[in-house]
Amino acid sequence: MFRRRNAATADAPAEPTADEVKAAAARGAVTAGKGRPTPKRSEAERRRRYQLSAEDRKAAGKQARTKDRAERARKTEAMRRGEEWALPAKDRGPVRALARDYVDSKRRFSEFYMYGLVVLLFLLFLHSPVIQTILPIVLIVMVLIMAGEGFWIGTRVAKLANERYPGQSTRGIKMYSGMRALQIRKLRFPKPRVKPGEQI
């Protein structure tokens, strides 16, 4: 009987001491850290979106390219219409818009200059002495007319801009107007918004 009691006592787990109980409680009260800082909400959302789109990277890339093309096409079309937000810096402002409208409001000799150059290039291949003699004179006359018309247009636009938009900068407006007058009407960019003969 004595031996059985001693064996049972040996098999039973020993009761923890007070110090062991306090140490265990202290260990249980402290939660192990993650070992990294908690990410910000914006970073977590960005990672979540990336993970969702990364499931099919090929489709996501194709979708992004399609969206970029559509955005570029929308901006190009807005530029052609002359919408202010889509125009490059050199075409922005009421003064530049006035210059475009003034040039586009009339048919001018300068806009046919490019057609004339094509004809002159064709005539260069003809070995006629008469044509070879007249051709340089015709070219000089065309250049003089074009330069005179460009100067007159630029001066008129600058004067009109000072009257309608006092205080606005007219720097470079003469060259801007003259260069637009040289362009073929159908190829002007932004495209004309007034027809020949309309008052501005």
Residue 69 and residue 114 share a domain: no
Residue 132 and residue 118 share a domain: yes
Residue 93 and residue 81 share a domain: no
The predicted pLDDT at position 16 comes to: 57
The predicted pLDDT at position 61 comes to: 77
Residue 140 and residue 62 share a domain: no
Phi, psi of 117 (to 5 degrees): -65, -40
Q: Final residue of a domain: which of 87, 103, 126? A: 87
Match 């720097």 to its residue by tokens: 171
Residue 179 and residue 137 share a domain: yes
Residue 96 and residue 73 share a domain: no
Query: How many separate domains does the chain show?
Result: 2
Residues 73 and 69: their CA atoms lie apart, in Å, by: 6
Using the 8-state DSSP alphabet, how is residue 185 labeled? G
The predicted pLDDT at position 53 comes to: 52
Residue 143 and residue 72 share a domain: no
The predicted pLDDT at position 9 comes to: 46
The predicted pLDDT at position 10 comes to: 46
Question: If DSSP codes are grouped into helix, strand and coil, which group holds residue 191?
Answer: coil
65 assigned to some structural domain = yes
By residue range, what is the domain housing residue 102?
89-187
Residue 136 and residue 105 share a domain: yes
The predicted pLDDT at position 17 comes to: 65
The predicted pLDDT at position 83 comes to: 84
The predicted pLDDT at position 103 comes to: 95
For each of the chain's 200 residues, which pLDDT tens digit applies? 444 444 444 444 455 566 665 565 555 544 444 556 666 777 766 666 655 555 567 777 777 888 888 888 888 888 888 788 888 889 999 999 999 999 999 999 889 988 888 888 888 888 888 888 898 899 899 999 999 999 999 999 999 999 999 989 999 999 999 999 999 999 998 999 999 988 88
DSSP states of 38-66: PPPHHHHHHHHHHHHHGGGHHHHHHHHHH
